[in-house]
Amino acid sequence: MIKSLKQKLSLLLILPVALLLFLAGVSGFIYVRNVLLDEWQKAAILKLERAAHHMDMRLSRPMEWIKMFHETAESRGGPATQELILTRLKNLEGITNVNLKWTDKHSEPSHMIMQKHMDGKGMMQFHRAIISEVTAPRYDAKTKQKTVTLISDFKDESGRLVGRLEVSLGFDFLMQDINKYGWWESSMTCLVDLSGRYLAHSTAMKDRTRLGETNDPVELAVMKSMSEKPYGTHLGPGHPPKLVSGFYKIKQAPWVIVMSAPGKDILAPIVEFRFYYAIAGSFCILFILVLIQFVGGRMVRQIRKISDAAKQVARGDYVSPLPITSSDEIGQLKTSFNTMVEGLKERDFIRDTFGRYMDPEVARELMKRPEAGRLGGEQREVAVLMSDIRGFTPVSESISPEETIRILNHYFSHMIEVIQRHKGIIVDFYGDGILVFFDPLEGPVKKEVRRAIHCGLEMQQSMTLFNKEMKLENLPELQTGIGINVGEVVVGNIGSSTRAKYGIVGSAVNITQRIQAEAKGGEVIISDSAYGFLKNDLKIKQAFSTQLKGVNEKMNLHIVESVQNKFE
């Protein structure tokens, strides 16, 4: 049982704390996880935007000169202007080659073609021009490096292609600013065209040729969004997501910069915090366990002491009062236990010393007297009452033993109730007879004589109710005779140290028994000594003189009909 109590204490204290820590940890983790993922997405878009801006800036310089070349179609600068623009293009940083080609359907020599399309002032004429393509990076054998070519087509009024300008840039030059960012090499970052083909990628993505080739749901989602949005981010499945990705389109070329990262790397700080949080939570629970052992264990030990003491009391071994060391509930429990033990001691003392059939108030009054708990007694004048059922022996022989016991128990329950109500002390039961005395203790005996006579008369009245109950059960009716006497007896504990009973001995008891024998069914007969105390208050039905067995002289006896005044 004690083990169960410890378990309950542990559950009641640890479970709420553990649940609170768990809920706080989960909610905190989810909140911080969302914050970290949101911050990564914002930071990724910002990084990609800066990288795209740098690439756009490097592409925009040659494109501006190419647009200026386009504008010579409607200006009057002549071939000299075009030559100047071409020269400037060749001198731009990062340019590896500038190639201008004029063509017609007859494949005439270039000088003839040039002449054919010049106006009267020697200027090359074309109707409109566009930058038709930015090629993917490819290896140039002449320059021995990867290059990207900007292709611009020239067309006449009919829409026929008349020339093409090709400007090649070093791919490393385009990537120069991007390569300065540490995240390019350390992160999963790549440059792809709109079809998803890799143009460049970090070492973390080597041996890959195309975005989405592994059917990764995040990469496929990025591929779809590239055709719809200029930038965006995507979270993969899982908690945390297995992969997080962001993309940003380059304005000056059909390329897209894509950055990806494992969710566990992004959430590394919160994962680490979760680890330390778990350690801190474990220490918290361990501290509670220690607290339970210290505080709860102390309480359990106190309860164990009370339990052990209760077991001893159950065996009849009354223990010494438990020490009260606190004013809390345990202290109150000990106080209640000590009070209970004292009450049990008193009850057993009353039962063992005074018998079961005594009014509790009378018993407590007797216990206040020093001689109540020791063997022996003292001599004093008391009123003695004895009752006996008339003709019960032949009745008992005519019915079964079970019915005999049932009748006696029912009879005694009626009589005991009346005797206790009048504060009589039942000494013993003699077959169907009852011996009772009324002890004045240190007061006048007259009051107890009155109690005894009242008790006898009420016992006779109770027999009327008793006989009605017997008649209903088809059992024989009974009559009882009662004798009352007053005299000196020895009152106290009679017996030995192992078995004693509070009672009376003396000749007055024997005389009372003889007086009771003279009473007929329904009569209460008192001795002359009892009559002398209350002769003015008694209504006597008959007085007579008789020789009692064992008594030398005749005794005057009185059959009492009623008492005029109940108490003085």
Give backbone dihedrals phi and psi of 238, rounded to 5 degrees, phi first: 105, 165
Same domain, 257 and 198: yes
CATH of the domain at 132: 3.30.450
Same domain, 511 and 379: yes
CATH of the domain at 238: 3.30.450.20
Tally of structural domains, the chain? 4
Q: In this predicted structure, what is the pLDDT of residue 127?
A: 56
What are the tokens at 177? 């600013």
Q: In this predicted structure, what is the pLDDT of residue 234?
A: 85
Instruction: Among 112, 147, 167, identify where a domain stops.
Output: 167
Same domain, 311 and 458: no
Answer yes or no: is 493 within a domain: yes
Range of the domain at 306: 269-348
Answer yes or no: is 305 within a domain: yes
Answer yes or no: is 13 within a domain: no
Answer yes or no: is 297 within a domain: yes
Same domain, 503 and 537: yes
Q: In this predicted structure, what is the pLDDT of residue 524?
A: 96
* Winning range, highest mean pLDDT, from 6-20, 142-156, 345-359: 142-156
pLDDT digits (tens, 9 = 90+) for 87-111: 888 888 888 888 888 775 433 433 3
Q: In this predicted structure, what is the pLDDT of residue 296?
A: 64
Q: In this predicted structure, what is the pLDDT of residue 396?
A: 83
Answer yes or no: is 27 within a domain: no
Same domain, 101 and 158: yes
pLDDT digits (tens, 9 = 90+) for 141-176: 777 888 888 888 887 777 788 888 888 888 788 787
- To the question of pTM greater than 0.75 for the whole model, the response is no
Residue 126, pLDDT > 70, answer: no
Q: In this predicted structure, what is the pLDDT of residue 117?
A: 41
Answer yes or no: is 520 within a domain: yes
Instruction: Among 131, 147, 167, identify where a domain stops.
Output: 167
Same domain, 397 and 411: yes
Residue 523, pLDDT > 90, answer: yes
Q: In this predicted structure, what is the pLDDT of residue 447?
A: 92
Instruction: Among 126, 142, 167, identify where a domain stops.
Output: 167
Same domain, 327 and 383: no
Same domain, 365 and 500: yes
Same domain, 440 and 521: yes
Same domain, 92 and 222: no
Same domain, 338 and 460: no
Same domain, 97 and 210: no
- What is the average pLDDT across 463-477? 90
DSSP result, 136-203: PPEEETTTTEEEEEEEEEEE-TT--EEEEEEEEEEHHHHTHHHHTSHHHHHSEEEEEETT-BEEEE-G
Answer yes or no: is 8 within a domain: no
Residues 278 and 266: their CA atoms lie apart, in Å, by 20
Residue pair 437/427 in contact by the 8 Å Cβ criterion: yes
Answer yes or no: is 20 within a domain: no
Residues 280 and 267: their CA atoms lie apart, in Å, by 20
437 pLDDT band, cuts 50/70/90, is very high
